[in-house]
Structure 1
């Protein structure tokens, strides 16, 4: 039998904590649920339109960047909220900037989607 060792256990637990964090964020955050639903639609469309190569890579990267940004936004909001309910301009800046980052990446993903899927959708008409 192979011994995992202390470092191996830490690695295994780090994956467990990461998966737990993703699961908790999905359960708690409405925007993440919306992004995930959009991801399912986008994945379906990549197969429907037989997207491959760099275009598929661009779509996948765009999708995961938005999901990752939403996770960072969730983490920042949780830490700021943990600091208390009293208003502080830096707390407002942190939350607004994190939300702004998600918005910028969502806009980029929309542009990528229009660029890749737009001509294919128009060709259907």
Structure 2
């Protein structure tokens, strides 16, 4: 197990830097992630305006944030699978398909949450 030697505040700062690098890489290389970031940019003000209380606003914004989280994890899986080789393999295809299914269900959840909050 790798140990960086960073502790306390330095570890937190480094972790934040790595997270920002991951966000930037996803935004640069993943079209779906870019689209979902822009959905978030539109959804946050809409949720703050249309949500009737803090719970509704939190659910509406949180569902879109969860979509971004799932997309990041899917992109990470795809990157690792692609790193191991470009030749077709049933397990590689299965991993990518499962990641895609996770994104699909996250999108479905966004739709369900927003539908019920606005109806």
- The two structures have a TM-score, normalised by structure 1, of 0.84
Q: Could you tell me which residue of structure 2 aligns to residue 113 of structure 1?
A: 114
User: Which protein has the larger Cα radius of gyration, Structure 1 or Structure 2?
Assistant: 1
Cα RMSD (Å): 1.5
Distance in structure 1 (CA, Å) of the matches to 2:60 and 2:41: 12
Say whether 1:32 aligns with 2:54. Answer: no
Distance in structure 1 (CA, Å) of the matches to 2:12 and 2:41: 29
Q: How many residues are matched?
A: 114
Map 1:1-125 to 2 at 5 A: 6-8=6-8, 9-117=10-118, 119=119
**Structure 2 residue ranges without an equivalent (≥5):** none
How far off its partner does 1:50 sit? 4.9
How far off its partner does 1:48 sit? 2.9
- The two structures have a TM-score, normalised by structure 2, of 0.88
Distance in structure 1 (CA, Å) of the matches to 2:37 and 2:53: 21
How far off its partner does 1:19 sit? 1.0
Q: Could you tell me which residue of structure 2 aligns to residue 122 of structure 1?
A: none
Range moving further from structure 2, 23-32 or 7-16: 7-16
